[in-house]
């Protein structure tokens, strides 16, 4: 199965007297809740919000009710001080982000089981793609509509944060594919190419957070750096297998040495281990874990050493190839197994908006909201999320892959 995942906190909202919103937020507090219930509650609330953001009669254009309610939401890596906005589009973006975060937590919890079935693996993969699609939708379709939002750097509406979330979801979905490819003993060249692409995605996600304050995103970035190093090591490991299959033993040994030996702390694998320890000791929002003790991490080292011993043995008895000084290039692009965000769209307007309901609202009689005068008056209580108490279990498969 896929591996261990870092997760940030759920967003918390100041109380708003919307029953459908309360129902949805109650569901989102627990990642073990039924996925279909979340989907239904999300669709109901977003369909009701439709008339607050778009004109349900004209079918396009802003709703006359769009800026009548003050919404206050915390951010997943910024503590309990809320971002405030009298804009219903902001509310939609916050709800969408929270639902996407829930999907990632649901996927992680499902994959934490000792023995994950094929159907469950597919569900993990699907939910990560769904989350990636929602982050993409917020970034591309909702954020351009919010022009006067005053939010701190590193807020969930920050382009860098949305980019990191989207790429992380896609990369983690590919982890599921990698684990399955290893289990089914697919061609080493395919696994090498896929893990190389996965490493690049984690690197890009980490790069998106480079300029975000370390106190907010430092722990999250350590996780992304760890996964990037881990999958680069994986890519060189299976590239070594590929070269050996092609009777290029010298290149095989050099690729396996690159998997095991690199410029940081002497080895790529040690680089991943060092980052995992840095992750554990870094303060900030996110999961508390000791990734170097997880089966997915412990399994790779012996795999590299076993393959390297085999290549050295065969070169000493059969090939006698010279070992290149430079590491061979990796497969540039995988042709199979690449994940992509699942397209997300808002549901249609709720049935209550049909007829004269929308016309009956007189927006001129409402008290105008101002984000400055009615902004954050104090911290918002964080979402009470259950702690993940599941132990790290030994892997019962050749890939050594679990999630916790």
pLDDT tens sequence across 51-64: 999 999 887 799 99
Q: Which residue has the tokens 């009615």?
A: 374
Least confident among 67-81, 162-176, 346-360: 346-360
Classify burial at 361, counting beta carbons within 10 Å of its beta carbon; exposed 0-12, middle 13-18, buried 19 or more: middle
Question: Which residues lie below 8 Å from residue 214, measured CB to CB, with a gap of 6+?
Answer: 221, 284
Tens digit of each residue's pLDDT (9 = 90 or more) over 214-266: 999 999 999 999 899 889 999 999 999 999 999 999 999 999 988 876 433 34
Question: Which residues lie below 8 Å from residue 183, measured CB to CB, with a gap of 6+?
Answer: 397, 398, 399
pLDDT band at 116 (very low <50, low <70, confident <90, very high): confident
More confident residue, 272 or 110: 110
Which of 37-46, 285-294, 363-372, 378-387 is modeled with the greatest confidence? 37-46
pTM recorded for the entire structure: 0.90
Round to whole Å and give the CA distance between 59 and 50: 10
Tens digit of each residue's pLDDT (9 = 90 or more) over 17-54: 899 999 999 999 999 999 999 999 999 999 999 999 99
């Amino acid at each position: 199965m896929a591996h261990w995942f870092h997760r940030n906190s759920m967003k918390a909202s100041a109380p708003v007297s919307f029953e459908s919103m309360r129902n949805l937020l109650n569901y989102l507090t627990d990642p073990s809740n039924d996925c279909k219930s979340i989907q239904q509650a999300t669709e109901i609330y977003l369909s009701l919000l439709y008339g607050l953001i778009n004109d349900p009669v004209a079918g396009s254009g802003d709703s006359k009710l769009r800026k009548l309610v003050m919404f206050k939401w915390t951010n997943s890596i910024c503590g309990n001080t809320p971002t405030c906005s009298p804009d219903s589009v902001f509310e939609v973006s916050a709800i969408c982000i929270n639902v996407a975060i829930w999907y990632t937590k649901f996927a992680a919890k499902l994959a934490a089981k000792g023995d994950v079935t094929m159907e469950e693996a597919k569900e993990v993969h699907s939910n990560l793609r769904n989350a990636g699609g929602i982050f993409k939708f917020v970034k591309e379709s909702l954020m351009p509509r919010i022009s006067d939002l005053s939010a701190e750097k590193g807020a969930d509406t920050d382009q860098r944060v949305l980019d990191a979330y989207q790429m992380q979801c896609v990369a983690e979905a590919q982890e599921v594919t990698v684990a399955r490819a290893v289990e089914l003993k697919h061609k080493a060249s395919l696994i090498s190419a896929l893990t190389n692409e996965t490493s690049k995605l984690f690197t890009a996600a980490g790069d998106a957070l480079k300029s975000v304050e370390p106190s907010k995103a430092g722990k999250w970035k350590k996780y992304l750096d760890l996964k990037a190093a881990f999958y680069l090591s994986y890519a060189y490991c299976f590239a070594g297998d590929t070269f050996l299959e092609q009777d290029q033993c010298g290149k095989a040994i050099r690729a396996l040495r690159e998997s095991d030996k690199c410029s940081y702390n002497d080895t790529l694998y040690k680089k991943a281990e060092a980052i995992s320890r840095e992750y554990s000791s870094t303060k900030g929002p996110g999961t508390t874990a000791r990734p170097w003790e997880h089966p997915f991490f412990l399994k790779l080292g012996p795999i590299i050493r076993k393959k390297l011993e085999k290549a050295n043995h065969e070169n000493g008895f059969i090939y006698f190839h010279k070992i290149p000084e430079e590491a061979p290039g990796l497969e540039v692009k995988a042709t199979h197994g690449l994940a992509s965000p699942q397209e997300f769209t808002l549901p249609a307007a709720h049935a209550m908006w049909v007829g004269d309901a929308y016309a009956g609202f007189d927006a001129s009689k409402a008290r105008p909201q101002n984000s400055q005068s009615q902004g954050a008056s104090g911290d918002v209580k964080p979402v009470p999320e259950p702690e993940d108490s599941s132990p790290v279990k030994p892997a019962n498969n050749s890939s050594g892959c679990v999630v916790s």
